[in-house]
Structure 1
């Protein structure tokens, strides 16, 4: 996938948060916070990670199967997306481009067939608060 800088940061942070749950002793959430701080600064990093943990937790609680993800710390693996990662990033892309039907279909795949999870709402909140395009779009529509 051709990920823009915001989407790439989202993928990196998702992977570190998934690792936190898969290997708790890795303290992946701390790495995610450091990475977010490097990209968005200390004032915005905490909120960014908090909202993304909401996405991760909603996804985890909506599934009956584990999420396959690649380790961001592996130089080889981080260049490839698992099928689940691809679906997550495609869902995020669909939401960013106001393609609700496509996003809803991908969310249903991600949630093991459950149709009405909170995944879209939580992801939309994340995007509304943190996507550079969303911030510009909101400012433009208020002008």
Structure 2
């Protein structure tokens, strides 16, 4: 059993197939992608929440004004490719819940393992995870979307290490935080 915080508002009990995010081996960028994906899923489940705007803001803050929106769109494209191929509901945890957001559902774990695997050049592992996520349906376009996401991630520079030369080349300046 996975230990959870004693949150008086959330009484969720993790299932045996779920794992703690902190034990998943995600880097900071992958944690951001997971949160953004959860925000997209929340927007799909509850359109009135407009959580997709938070996903866009999150990626822009973390990856910068140039790379952030591109990464947000590539992430959405990968999610949509997977969603269109799956037949059943994708289980996700609420990104705003302090307890739930610390736990990975089986589907989130597979999704993030596929992203990690593509980023590390382990496409056979990614293909297996994507096949399971897509429930044995066609996966070629889904893998292509994950590879596209991985490519833009490889080129992205987190805001914390942006240098002014990149902004100088575009004639823009970055305002101090």
Same-fold call, TM > 0.5?
yes
Question: d(CA) in 2 for partners of 1:82 and 1:39?
Answer: 24
Deviation at 1:116, TM superposition (A): 3.3
In structure 2, the CA distance between the partners of 1:61 and 1:6, relative to structure 1 (3 Å rule), is same
- State the distance in 1 between where 2:31 and 2:145 align: 19
- In the alignment, what sits opposite 2:3? none
Residue 127 of structure 1, CA deviation:
0.8
Which ranges in structure 1 are unaligned for 5 or more consecutive residues? 134-143
1:132 Cα deviation after fit: 5.4
* Structure 2 unpaired stretches of 5+: 1-23, 157-177
Which residue number corresponds to residue 140 of structure 1? none
2:137 pairs with 1:114: yes
State the partner residue of 1:36.
59
Contact 1:6 1:131 in 2 (8 A): no
Cα 1:94/1:29, change in 2 over 3 Å: same
- Count, aligned residues: 134
**Change in CA separation of 1:106 and 1:60 when aligned onto 2, cut-off 3 Å:** same
Counterpart contact for 1:111–1:117, Cα < 8 Å: no
| Corresponding residue SS for 1:9 | helix
Match of 2:94, SS? coil
Superposed CA RMSD in Å reads 1.7
Structure 1 residues 64 and 117 mapped into 2: Cα distance closer, same or farther (>3 Å)?
farther
TM-score scaled to structure 1, two decimals?
0.87
Give the number of the structure whose residues are more often helix, by fraction: 1
Deviations 1:82-131 (A, max 9, x none): 00000011111111121121111111000011143411100100110123
Structure 1 or 2, whichever has the larger Rg, is 2
1:25 maps onto 2:48 in alignment: yes
Match of 2:89 among 66, 69, 72: 66
> Out of 109, 125, 133, which is 1:86 matched to?
109
